[in-house]
Structure 1
Amino acid sequence: MTDAGEKFRAPAAETLEAPQEDQSSLKDRVLDFVAGPASTVDLVRSTSAPLPLAPIDYSDPSQVTAVLDLAARVGGLLLACGSGNRDTELQIKAVTSAYGLTQIQVDITLTSVTVYHLIGARRTPITAMRVVNSPIPDFERLRHTDRVVRKIRAGHLSLDDAIEAIDKVEREPSKYRLRVIYAGWAMLASSVTILLGSGLAVALIAAAVTLAIVVVIGELAARELPTFFQNAVGGLIATLSAAILNAIQDYMPFDMQPSRLIASGIVVMLAGLTLVQALQDGMTGAPVTGSARFFDTMLLTGGIVAGIALGIELSGIFGIPLPDVIAGSDLNFSQATVRVLAGTCASLAFALASNAGFTALAVSGTAALLGSLMYYFALIPAGIHPVTSAGAAATLIGLIGGLLARRWSIPPLITAVSGVTPLLPGMTIYRGMHALLHDEAIAGFTALASALGVATALAAGIVLGEWMARRMRRPRVLTEDSGLKRPHIARRRTIRPAPQRAKLRRVRVNRFKGGMNPRLR
């Protein structure tokens, strides 16, 4: 009886110490305010096999096929908007598990999504496949797709409602008109030109040249010219424009450096490619898709390089050769400030050109601002190598962008891609091509290898920053009483029986999102 009485009183004694743990609720409130809700990927990872929230008739092949087709369409939208392989696979499984299909197989390539499942006693195979077009950054559609996945996982959408919601996402027009998209690309070019050290007049010229590039590429795409030749034409326009302006340099009242104009055009065309996403896929366990994306990106980048090389050769034939690239000097405080602001504007401009909403614009700009401050005020003045500096700045962008994206329910991909846009190695690529075409093979290959190193550092920094954000903002996990709590390490305590004369204190009942705290009855 004595042992039984101690076992009975032990929970009561432990409950009396509960107010000491409730004092730490301020930390949870601060984390909730800073990081906000968990991302969709974190919600998927919180449980290995979610309970069916809207079950279907598993013996009906038509309903099972409808669920698989819905999941394949969601995956196709995510891939088409530039999402990574691993995150897309997790969100596909989140959709199927929400309707009770937890034992599925997913196969994702660069151009297709396949979802496979077995039903019935005879284990009849059912497969749904979705063909994916070339990835085009569309941040608003990516956000709407993420919102539909959240609603499906929360059990707010039946199967028919989810299919209707995905139909609406696929049919929705662009958030902005074409003139706004063009203005975003022009603003990106002018911001990059200022970032490289040019003045306002050269920035306006870069905006005009970029508008010409975007319009011409759009017309060529409408006539179904392969993308490789579209990029080659864009690089040719940028190089010839810089050569013509260099020829009339004596008649202009401002200093004109053609290399900066060409570099801004390279960054504009590189920003729409998926180089960072390709390297991310390789680092997160999807080598097949990563290799395909990397090859596609390298091929399209080769088109840009071919156009630049052709432009340099034509300018030499016409007697207006381009000058050598002038190395940048050390930055003072005012120059660093201008470059930080220009980098932030470049990030906002790329997000605007990629059809991002106002909330995504604000989050992307904030992440880019903090990353640029670290890059130009801490890393570069300290003499750190540009590759290492780019990786460290990208890590901060991935961390801050990941936390802010969760706070405002935005896919972290938006802040990652937009935030690293000012750090793309446009000038390094042009320096390498200029050296190769002037019989400086060692300097040319060194510059191109440095450009690839910067791109790899940016991708690695984004992946590391995202991982750190998820560790700081860990998802809630299910408990045995169906409540939700955050995982933590509890220290071992010695449970002592309560004194006979001690007055039992009643613990205040605190409510939280997952249920109720234990209380003394």
Structure 2
Amino acid sequence: MAEARELNLTLDFCLRVGEVLLSSGAGAADVTATMQALAWQLGVKNVEVDVTFTSLAMGFQPDPEEPAFVLIRQVKQREIDYADLTEVDHLVRDVLRGDADLKEARQRLARIVSSGHPVPRWAATLGWGAMCAGVGLQLGGGLAVVAIAFVAAVAIDRLLLVMARRRLPFFYRQVAGGAVAALIAVAGAAFLDDLDLSVVVTANIIMLLAGIGFMGALHDALSGFYVTAGARLTEALLATAGIIAGVSGGLQVGTAFGVDVGRLEPGAVADLGQASALAFGAAVCAASFGFASYAPWRALPPIGLIAAVAILISQSAEATSSLGRAWPTAVAAFFVGLVSYGISARLKVPPLVVVVPAIVPMLPGLSIYRGLSLLTEGPAATSEGLLAIITAAAVALALAAGVILGEYVAQPLQREARRLESRLAGPRLVGPLRIRPPKPKRVRRSSSSEA
């Protein structure tokens, strides 16, 4: 009975760690490898782990003739919290080094998930506002665009928070956010004649766009987790459809009040002639995203610097070559993955905390939005909409593949990592590089002690 209780506590601990990692945006491969490593260290070898987008399952059968132990945990909360992710990553490493036993590890995990956020929620709201303001700078907008983007992001975040507390489905929250973004942009255009409505709406809705989910889907697909990848892709498309519905509704209200809306074309990234504004906007966007996601303060300046250099690499390569958009983005993502491993090790944070905010300014959320919105206009715009969707898929694939390749080059591939099954092969953005801890060294007895 004591062994069964210990086994249940071990599997439950591994599942709770996996839940924190998956809800914070970690890939299914990283979650699986971390859970297996923890179970091995805690004495439960050869466990079976199944990770999907909404649930985690872990099973262990001590003998073919005995019944199997199977535990399942649902992933209900999906608020990104890089502070919790960092603390859990430190906890995992302490367990694998043998510095924490199961009882202590469970107590520390309970404190981490119940301690709340390191900064007030209103501060995170200001962080989202600063992120959208940075996007306004990145798009070449003036002071009016930046101010409207900040106000819209703050209003959208507070509205989404209220709707989430009332447990409204995610799709309706996206519709409401898109409507608020469009209405604020229309109000600004009604009072400012020279205001570019497309740029304002683009800056307003950037916090709602599903570029991270789209890239995460391709990351899981590259790692061999196709079910999880399909679920992430479905969520990204549904989120973008909600934005389209909300924005179109808000623009219809503007038309009814006599505001000339015209055709909405998502704003493009500023050209190299505005390199300083482009780099500064990308840095503000990335660092603000990290702050709003509760990343440790020490990681924010490096995140901004990496994002600024990456966006300059991407835009300069695209402007000086005929390679299109995907290859320059892949080169910039490779740079992000290459430098993030060493920087995250110095900052003592998981590489994911640096990688995701740094690539936010390059995410293809606007292409997804434009493609789906064109598809809703009818057969005349179908080909153009499909081209935008294909471009978004190519950019997301370039980002995922570039980051993974950069981490491959940066991380030392240990012998234990090569022993992982093929679907788990790859660099770790969260969790250990090894699936099992190193074996303890044997101490030879001297002849005198043997005597």
Q: Please report the TM-score for the alignment, with normalisation by the length of structure 1.
A: 0.74
Aligned to 1:282: 221
Does structure 2 conserve the Cα–Cα contact (< 8 Å) formed by 1:217 and 1:234? yes
Aligned to 1:390: 329
Aligned to 1:9: none
Matched, 1:339 2:282: no
Matched, 1:81 2:20: no
Structure with a larger share of its residues in helix: 2
Aligned to 1:484: none
Matched, 1:154 2:97: yes
| Corresponding residue to 2:386 among 438, 442, 445 | 445
The alpha carbon displacement at 1:421 in A equals 0.7
5 Å matches for 1:468-507? 468-470=409-411, 473-475=412-414
Q: Which has the larger radius of gyration?
A: 1
The alpha carbon displacement at 1:309 in A equals 2.3
| Corresponding residue to 2:257 among 312, 318, 325 | 318
Structure 2 gaps of 5+ residues are 418-439, 442-451
Aligned to 2:425: none
1:129 and 1:328 map into 2 onto residues whose CA distance is 45
| Corresponding residue to 1:400 among 331, 336, 339 | 339
Structure 1 gaps of 5+ residues are 1-57, 479-513, 516-521
Matched, 1:109 2:52: yes
| Corresponding residue to 2:302 among 348, 353, 363 | 363
In angstroms, what is the RMSD of aligned CA positions? 2.6
The alpha carbon displacement at 1:434 in A equals 6.1
- CA distance 1:314–1:338, shift in 2 (3 Å): same
Does structure 1 conserve the Cα–Cα contact (< 8 Å) formed by 2:315 and 2:328? no
1:177 and 1:355 map into 2 onto residues whose CA distance is 10
The alpha carbon displacement at 1:175 in A equals 0.9
1:233 and 1:197 map into 2 onto residues whose CA distance is 27
Does structure 2 conserve the Cα–Cα contact (< 8 Å) formed by 1:176 and 1:355? yes
Q: Which moved more, 1:128-137 or 1:83-92?
A: 128-137
- CA distance 1:62–1:428, shift in 2 (3 Å): closer
5 Å matches for 1:37-76? 60-76=3-19
The alpha carbon displacement at 1:403 in A equals 2.7
- CA distance 1:213–1:391, shift in 2 (3 Å): same
- CA distance 1:368–1:328, shift in 2 (3 Å): closer
The alpha carbon displacement at 1:476 in A equals 7.8
5 Å matches for 1:180-329? 180-250=123-193, 255-270=194-209, 274-324=213-263, 325=265
| Corresponding residue to 2:405 among 451, 464, 468 | 464
Aligned to 1:372: 311
The alpha carbon displacement at 1:432 in A equals 4.2
The alpha carbon displacement at 1:234 in A equals 0.8
1:393 and 1:355 map into 2 onto residues whose CA distance is 25
5 Å matches for 1:160-171? 160-171=103-114
Number of equivalences: 416
Runs of 4+ in 1 over 6 A off after TM superposition: none
The alpha carbon displacement at 1:109 in A equals 1.2
Aligned to 1:42: none
Letter in 1 for 2:234: F
Does structure 1 conserve the Cα–Cα contact (< 8 Å) formed by 2:152 and 2:181? yes
Letter in 1 for 2:258: G
- CA distance 1:321–1:456, shift in 2 (3 Å): farther
Letter in 1 for 2:180: I
The alpha carbon displacement at 1:164 in A equals 0.8
Does structure 2 conserve the Cα–Cα contact (< 8 Å) formed by 1:425 and 1:455? yes
Secondary structure of the 1:101 match is: coil
Does structure 2 conserve the Cα–Cα contact (< 8 Å) formed by 1:309 and 1:437? no
The alpha carbon displacement at 1:116 in A equals 0.8
Q: Which moved more, 1:383-392 or 1:175-184?
A: 383-392
- CA distance 1:100–1:433, shift in 2 (3 Å): closer
Q: Which moved more, 1:456-465 or 1:197-206?
A: 456-465
Matched, 1:455 2:396: yes
2:377 and 2:294 map into 1 onto residues whose CA distance is 40
Offset from partner CA, 1:441-475 (integer Å, 9 cap, x none): 133333343233322322222222222222xx344
Q: Which moved more, 1:412-421 or 1:454-463?
A: 454-463
2:237 and 2:220 map into 1 onto residues whose CA distance is 15
The alpha carbon displacement at 1:275 in A equals 2.2
1:391 and 1:245 map into 2 onto residues whose CA distance is 36
Aligned to 1:174: 117
1:234 and 1:427 map into 2 onto residues whose CA distance is 15
Offset from partner CA, 1:480-515 (integer Å, 9 cap, x none): xxxxxxxxxxxxxxxxxxxxxxxxxxxxxxxxxx99
Of all paired residues, the percent bearing the same amino acid is: 29
Q: Please report the TM-score for the alignment, with normalisation by the length of structure 2.
A: 0.85
Offset from partner CA, 1:204-253 (integer Å, 9 cap, x none): 11101111111111111112211101101111111122222222223xxx
Offset from partner CA, 1:124-183 (integer Å, 9 cap, x none): 321222211243221111111111100000000111111111111111210110121011
The alpha carbon displacement at 1:427 in A equals 4.2
